[in-house]
Amino acid sequence: MSAQAILAPYQIGDLKLSVSFRFLLSLYAIVPLCVLVLWLDRYGFQHALRDMLPSSPSHFLLFQILFGTPHIIASNLLLFGHADYVGTFKNKLLGMTLFIAVFFGIGSLFIPYRALYIISAAWTVYHVLKQQHGVAKAVCRLPNWAFYLQLWLSVSAGIFIYMGIFLKNSLTLLQADIVLQIAGVLTAALLISTLVCQKYVPSRFGVYFLWANTLLVAASWYVYSQQYYFLAILMPRLVHDITAYSFYVSHDVNRHGDRPQNGLFRLAAFCHVPVAVVLPALSFLLTYLLQVYGDDLVNAILQTLFSTRIYKAVTLGLIGYLALMHYYTEAFVWAAGSPLRRYIRFSGI
């Protein structure tokens, strides 16, 4: 999401809710907080917290319900819940659906699982950090070369951090050490790059945002190097997800606040449910239902009708499809000229 790209054309006075850059910057407070928690646990409790937390966030059902999947479901509900948006992007949505079916469906029969996993992991990291750098671009106002230098150093370091965490059980000790070292070198390059690039940022607030994104990656590497894998994923996940929800909620309030325009929000208005909580509440509820009951329900139906079962039909198949669609569509649904962006305004610069 890049705020600067179409900030001026959609400064509409009657939009009630704005996306505050100061609020978005405040989310990065999770970074020093997690580092502080690490130090307290390391020096005060002899790694008791680290030993208690799951070795991977994906092993913790509550983490899956609270982070990642809900905002993915929310973005798909927002896009597919409005007929005008579907009509605008119909060809792109159909094309991407076909690509996912061929590449990740049929392709999985020929492409090694690890290759598909690394591709998905790289796309995930790119999506997460591209959003944060895109938002910061509006206040940092870096030259293009500096923006992309920061972005690609962040993404490159993030990919190796991600692989070091989620593939650690399948890596040898030497491989794990190499991944850690590469991530460290890229993180050091990012820190040096930020020192160089900050002189091109015209405001102190922009410098804060620039360093916030850099320290998000640097702290993730440090926490990962100390084997606090859960905290290493928690930091970017929390910042990314809440940033995304700030856009979704602002959109809904500004589009449906006075006059609900689809069935979901008309039902919410009838039940006196505030517009701002509809999409977050529904996305968390659906995440819980899909994660806990989805696979069993689908397999019960398939077993009854066709005497067959599909491995993780919902938690891997459906949610995987929605995640890939989310990564793809977020690259253009908030871009200049998009019908969604007319309901977004910004404040706090």
Residue 14 covered by a domain: no
**Residue 117: is its pLDDT beyond 50?**
yes
pTM comes to 0.89
For the chain, the domain total comes to 1
Q: Which two tokens stand for residue 349?
A: 């610069």
Report whether 161 contacts 223 (CB < 8 A).
Answer: no
Q: Which of 327, 336, 344, 139 is nearest to 247 (CA)?
A: 344
Residue 135 covered by a domain: yes
- Mean pLDDT is highest, among 55-69, 213-227, 293-307, for 213-227
Judged by phi (left if over 0) then psi (alpha if -120 to 50, else beta), residue 312 lies in: left
Q: Would you tell me the crossing angle of helices 30-44 and 204-225 to the nearest 10 degrees?
A: 30
Residue 180 CA to residue 141 CA, distance in Å, equals 32
Residue 287 CA to residue 322 CA, distance in Å, equals 12
Domain that holds residue 50: 19-347
190-247 confidence digits (pLDDT tens): 999 999 999 999 999 999 999 999 999 999 999 999 999 999 999 999 999 999 999 9
Strand spans (E) along the chain: 19-20, 346-347
Residue 220 CA to residue 315 CA, distance in Å, equals 26
Q: Which of 43, 60, 62 is nearest to 52 (CA)?
A: 60
Residue 240 covered by a domain: yes
- Give the pLDDT band of residue 57 (cuts 50, 70, 90): low
71-104 confidence digits (pLDDT tens): 999 999 999 999 999 999 999 999 999 999 888 8
Residue 331 CA to residue 28 CA, distance in Å, equals 22
Residue 11 covered by a domain: no
Q: Which of 85, 71, 16, 37 is nearest to 228 (CA)?
A: 37
305-327 confidence digits (pLDDT tens): 777 777 777 778 889 899 999 99
Residues 6+ apart with CB under 8 A from 97: 321, 325
Residue 5 covered by a domain: no
Q: Which residue has the tokens 């009854």?
A: 304
DSSP state, residue 346: E
Residues 6+ apart with CB under 8 A from 13: none
